[in-house]
Amino acid sequence: MTTSFSERIARLNDILCTVNVLRWDARVMMPAGGAASRGHQIATLQGLARDMLVDPAMADAAEEARAAAENDIARSAAEAVLRARDWHLKISETLLRRQAETSVIAGQAWARARAEGDFSTFQPYLEDVVTLSRQMADALGHDGHPYDPMVQIYEPGETAASLSALFDKLRAGIKPLLERALSRPAPRSDFLYRDYPIEAQKALCAELAPLLGLDMERSRLDTAVHPFEISFTRQDVRITSRWNPNYLPMSIFGTMHETGHALYEQGIDPALTRSAHATDLIGLYAVGGCSFGMHESQSRLFENHVGRSPAFWSNHFGTLRDHFPEQLADVSEEDFVAAINRVEPGLIRVEADELTYDLHIMLRMRIEMALMDGSLAVDDVPQAWNAAMRDDLGIDVPNDRLGCLQDIHWSSGYIGSFPTYTVGNITAAQLMARFDTIHPDLRRAADAGDLKPLREVLAETVWRHGRSKHRHELLAAIGTDADDCEPYIAYLRGKFAST
């Protein structure tokens, strides 16, 4: 009996979701000693997935499915598999295995180096990551910068040149706003650094995620060194946060950020996970979203446009104070909102205010581009990082832990992914600006504490489509140009020009 296209994809999807389970466990539960064997396990499963994808029978099944497709979704599903197959045929099984093994081992090495604040112990692992990334870029091919193929893994259609041009415009818009904001007195923020017991933070965040709309019957909140969201299916979407007993915003906004990601995953149309036969799970569009940038737009939208808004805290500051009555006894709602929106250049990207955040991203992109084209050696990364922090933000980096070791991305092999955070910021502002025009009721409802209308519009315009449409398509459908950063600059100007 011939195996159907949907059956083949169902099996492939099961393996890939199992890989995600192992990755979640590696970051949340696994003892450090399990890194090498876990790397081998993930590499084996990814090898099996690749074998299934590049099997000529898969191509035949996909071609048949495309020819018989009765709608655009079925046709695009078959075409996506054919594109993925072509991509994987360019990459050797050996390279994929080495990348999978290295990502787990390097992740454990990064965690140790970060704890010790010593880049030199992570350096050889990062050298391996960069070497493998260059090999990947060479295998995929490029006409411009070797960074291009890596960027396109995460943000299809973008290149080093297109992102550099976009970011240059954004930088020119941010710089005068930042200078103006820093010329004004900073609001009080001492209370953010008081003693906030970790268990109380966990209890608060366990309430915040459902307040934003996360279905906890299909999710859970755990602890990780670096917060992340990961999906196995739309029915099982995990988020993590981290807890600083002396800095409350880390857990609050880390949780809100990852909740935005998870809402996207939970909001994917169930129809995209099934073929015309209800029992044949396809799963092709069940996880992942259309790009990292679109995914980041959802996390940054809920973290900043919702989570840092006065309206949100006018409805929920009482909940916050209930969890920390002593710590916030002398703090008003207005004090808190001003503090979490203050402009204060700092060392840590995930704690950065909205005006300086993208400068952190631009710094990382420049380093990644230099690593990929060989103009920067891995052992010079700390010096390059520290110099950029001085130039861009006027900050001296005291140690590697607070500098180039703060992010997990490079250890995971995600070179090329950092720019998508700024793409996400731009996209979130584009969405909200457009919604203000075509759905003005959304903001009124949010001001009254009701986020359901916003979630419903996001589900209709973004979430339900999963991977079936490109970011540019989704934005064009609501009358927005994906390459226009002016809505984001206007949002920042409106928020920070007079505060």
Tell me the three state secondary structure of residue 237.
Answer: strand
Residue 88 in marked binding region: no
Residue 217 in marked binding region: no
Cα Dmax for the chain: 74
Contacts of 486 (CB under 8 A, 6+ apart): none
Residue 261 in marked binding region: yes
Write the burial class of residue 315 (CB in 10 Å: 0-12 exposed, 13-18 middle, 19+ buried): middle
Contacts of 387 (CB under 8 A, 6+ apart): none
| Degrees, nearest 5: CA angle 358-138-99 | 75
Contacts of 493 (CB under 8 A, 6+ apart): 173, 177
The distance of Cα 113 from the centroid of its chain, to the nearest Å, equals 23
Tell me the backbone φ, ψ of residue 230, rounded to 5 degrees.
Answer: -145, 140
Options 101, 155, 158, 258, the catalytic residue = 258
Burial 324-351 (b: 16+ CB within 10 A, else e): beebbeebebebbbbbbbbbebebebbb
DSSP for 80-121, please give it. HHHHHHHHHHHS-HHHHHHHHHHHHHHHHHHHHHHHHT-GGG
Pairing of strands 229-233, 219-223: unpaired
| Separation of alpha carbons 186 and 184, rounded Å | 6
Strand partners, 238: 220, 230
- Element spanning 232, H or E: strand 229-233
Catalytic annotation present for 258: yes
Binding residues: 257, 261, 296
Residues taking part in catalysis:
258
Binding residues for Zn(2+): 257, 261, 296
